[in-house]
Structure 1
Amino acid sequence: MSSALTDLCRYPIVQAPMAGGASCPGLAAAVSDAGGLGFLAAGYKTADGMYQEINQIRRLTPRPFGVNLFMPQPRTVDPGAVDVYRHQLAGETSWYETPLGDADCGSDDGYEAKLAILRDDPVPVVSFTFGCPTAAVLSAFAEAGTFTVVTVTTPEEARAAERAGADALCVQGVEAGGHQGTHRDDPATDGAGIGLLALVALIRETVELPLIATGGLMRGTQIAAVRAAGADAAQLGTAFLVCPESGAHSLHKQAMTNPLFARTELTRAFSGRPARGLVNRFMREHGPYAPAAYPQVHHLTSGLRKAAAKAGDAQGMSLWAGQGHRMAREMPAGRLVEVLVAETESARAALTTPEDAR
């Protein structure tokens, strides 16, 4: 593990920032306390809401932690396509007895206000998803002593983040649960993502920055594999989603290992951006018609998803999950870190030949 990451966490295990409630202060603090790096997801929160949760984490742990921000999205969405999808969802509004949300309630996720808070009251780590911040933003964080991480999904994105001044990269393979962190949302590339092992190797030969690998990782053997491929650390989301400290809905946690939800797919059905989740009724019925319109579709379906959760109907919820979801283990987050560390060390020892050991 690189010296920079070693200063932040004892073990090369990062808890993924899962927006929507799963990555709550309790989960982040438990992971950091156990020697990993916990993350708070600031996506979909107000700037003040983010600040309040940062203070909660500080009260829960003295250890370093991170905050993840969504990059503002360009206003290139076709309003007509959103209106068509609105009509497509008419049956859902009747079924759940709730109206659709306002698709035009903002596309920057309070980015500038969140930046201002994090510059004025720095946290140890800030990561970015859905794009790369400007060199000026990254430089300001460097001056404040904040370690910055940019999520990338291709070697080209990795080069751009290195040029901008990122301290490290979160390399996201197509296996990852939740949203794909592509810097451009191009429908022509849907389904063309690169698998994690290949992507880590490609990016390792492209840049010199520390790499945090993420995408479907659930076991220490997989962590050992991505580290052997060139990663300095591993980031896990779905593995921590089922922990008792996670803020994920109980139906979401149960679905991870429910035989009814046998596989995952990338879909735009819930948010308008490619995201991997468990295949359910909503995804099957609406995925083929969802436009490339993020965050407009996210705002549109927000009320429906909440109503489905309140009704106890997992078939109408966004059940984000990585490809390894069936290997989820329900245990306290700190214990999971311990198990993953032991599994990783065992796997790495098994890969060491007698000649290497000498």
Structure 2
Amino acid sequence: MIRTLFDISVALIQAPMAGVQDANLAASVCEAGGLGSLPCAMLSNQQLIEQLELLSRSTSKPYNLNFFCHSTLQYTKLQKQQWHSLLAPYFNEYAIAESSLTDEASRQPINQSVIDIIAPYKPAVVSFHFGLPAPSLLEQIKSWGTKVISTATTVEEAKWLADNGADAVIAQGLEAGGHRGHFLSMDLSLHKSTAELVQECVAHVSVPIIAAGGIATEDDVAHMQTLGASGVQVGSAYLLCNEATTSKLHRDAILAQQKDSTALTTLFSGRAARGVCNRVMQELGAIPAHVPPFPYASIAITALRSKAELLGGSGFSPLWCGQKYILRENISAAQITQILMQKWSV
């Protein structure tokens, strides 16, 4: 169903993965018949234009632009003091002065200036994390003929998205790497496996359901189809492909990890996200108290990350990765797309 909805050849969306990809990976998936995605939430306006130009030159096929639409909460003086107190031993270790840290976070929700930039490109699909944007922004996007999708972590969120303008819903199971897309409740105990969530959403939501999380093989893809999914969204399977910009430290961490070594953590941004366990997660706990709200946690952590990475360490790096993945190196994103979709029944 999503093949017709998005005008693509195979029912696969490449998950937008900020920090480990650019337009080249998205274009490769598009050329293989899937829906390539460009993560836009952390791009400046100028970077967004540059990436849109590159993507438009690299493929004439439909593509997806992904944005965040979170509500920006206040970062109070007390929250900052508590967070910095927790991180103080690391500041001392890496000689980071608290006074050097700003209060400005890099992740911004979509706004009118971004809408004005992407309007001339009329993307086939625009996807969102953390709900949907204001109705006025959504109306503009849909006026281009663009399809809108967003992520749900519960059936209640899936229903809300369908009722508020989403043309399809991504059912994100607990196995998925990167940020959780929850927005109606911050209670992680409500989240279920991909298989459970897909079945619930298919039974209770009228729009097409796209399965996401723990999908790494052609058998995984075929299984999601038997559960009623109209398509799949896959991210971690592309982390080591030729077009990925995944850093050497990130690649090494993925290759070296033991089974079941990922966890959900709020340490890197203030919102729960799944990645490979590293030093800061092990020493502070993956979800400690006093982590400030999204996206402010990233300010101090990024300063520590920069110092540690200069010394060759990934102890403060967000090493996003799903619970299940297949180590595929020296292979293109297009080839991975073709492999994954071999058993999908047209």
TM-score, normalisation: structure 1? 0.88
Q: What are the equivalent positions in structure 2 for 1:1-358 lying under 5 Å apart?
A: 1-5=1-5, 7=7, 9-19=8-18, 21-75=19-73, 79-99=77-97, 101-105=101-105, 108-109=108-109, 111-184=111-184, 186=186, 189-259=187-257, 263-286=261-284, 287=286, 288-325=288-325, 327-330=326-329, 331-342=331-342, 344-345=343-344
Task: Specify the SS of the correspondent of 1:66.
Answer: strand
Task: Specify the SS of the correspondent of 1:39.
Answer: strand
Supply the AA of the counterpart residue of 2:313: D
Task: Specify the SS of the correspondent of 2:232.
Answer: strand
Task: Specify the SS of the correspondent of 1:243.
Answer: coil
Q: Which has the higher helix share?
A: 1
Per-residue CA distance 1:300-333 (angstroms, 9 max, x = gap): 21222233233221222111111003x2322211
Supply the AA of the counterpart residue of 1:111: N
Task: Specify the SS of the correspondent of 2:315.
Answer: helix
Does the CA-based 8 Å contact 2:42-2:106 persist in structure 1? no
Task: Specify the SS of the correspondent of 2:81.
Answer: helix
Moved more, 122-131 or 304-313: 304-313
Per-residue CA distance 1:114-157 (angstroms, 9 max, x = gap): 12222343212110101222333333222111111111111111
Aligned partners of 2:113, 2:190: CA distance in 1, in Å?
A: 34
Does the CA-based 8 Å contact 2:122-2:145 persist in structure 1? yes
Supply the AA of the counterpart residue of 2:111: Y
**Partner of residue 356, structure 1:** none
Aligned partners of 2:143, 2:6: CA distance in 1, in Å?
A: 20
**What is the CA-CA distance between 1:5 and the residue it aligns to?**
3.5
Supply the AA of the counterpart residue of 1:297: A
Aligned partners of 1:157, 1:98: CA distance in 2, in Å?
A: 40
Moved more, 201-210 or 87-96: 87-96
Aligned partners of 1:44, 1:135: CA distance in 2, in Å?
A: 22
Aligned partners of 2:49, 2:10: CA distance in 1, in Å?
A: 27
Task: Specify the SS of the correspondent of 1:217.
Answer: coil
In structure 2, runs of 5+ residues without a counterpart are none
In structure 1, runs of 5+ residues without a counterpart are 350-358
**What is the CA-CA distance between 1:106 and the residue it aligns to?**
6.9
Supply the AA of the counterpart residue of 2:9: R
Does the CA-based 8 Å contact 2:45-2:114 persist in structure 1? yes
Supply the AA of the counterpart residue of 2:299: H
**What is the CA-CA distance between 1:86 and the residue it aligns to?**
1.1
**What is the CA-CA distance between 1:81 and the residue it aligns to?**
2.7
Rate the CA distance shift 1:310–1:63 in 2: closer, same or farther, 3 A. farther
Per-residue CA distance 1:35-72 (angstroms, 9 max, x = gap): 11111101211122112101111111111111100113
Rate the CA distance shift 1:108–1:315 in 2: closer, same or farther, 3 A. closer
**What is the CA-CA distance between 1:285 and the residue it aligns to?**
1.9
Does the CA-based 8 Å contact 1:261-1:279 persist in structure 2? no
Per-residue CA distance 1:62-90 (angstroms, 9 max, x = gap): 11111100113242555423321112112
**What is the CA-CA distance between 1:236 and the residue it aligns to?**
0.8
Moved more, 259-268 or 296-305: 259-268
Rate the CA distance shift 1:136–1:233 in 2: closer, same or farther, 3 A. same
Moved more, 99-108 or 68-77: 99-108
Q: CA RMSD in A?
A: 2.2
Task: Specify the SS of the correspondent of 2:305.
Answer: helix
Task: Specify the SS of the correspondent of 2:281.
Answer: helix
TM-score, normalisation: structure 2? 0.91
